[in-house]
Amino acid sequence: MAAMDSSNAFIKEYQDRFEKKLKENEIVLLEHWKEQLDKIASMRPDSMASLQMQVKKTSEMMANRIKVLKKE
């Protein structure tokens, strides 16, 4: 019975560490893309077309990153 409690404690601890790491990675990811969007928001585009190009460029960066992650 003690071995089962020990295994359950180990599994719980491992799950907690995994969830913490997952949350940390999500925070880093969101901070990165927030920085990208903040750059766009702070720009003074000459025209709507210029703004659209920046948004499209950011979207393409995100799409490329998704492709890379799906290949791994």
Every domain of the chain and the residues it spans: 2-71
Segment 27-45, tens digit of pLDDT: 999 999 999 999 988 988 7
When the pLDDT of each residue in the chain is averaged and rounded to a whole number, the result is: 89
Angle at 38 between CA 33 and CA 41, to 5 degrees: 130
Which pLDDT score is estimated for 58?
93
22 near 14, Cβ under 8 Å? no
How far is residue 42 from each of residues 7, 45, 47, 49, 54, measured CA to CA in Å? 52, 9, 14, 16, 12
Instruction: Assess whether pLDDT exceeds 80 at residue 4.
Output: no
SS3 22: helix
> Whose structure tokens read 């880093």?
28
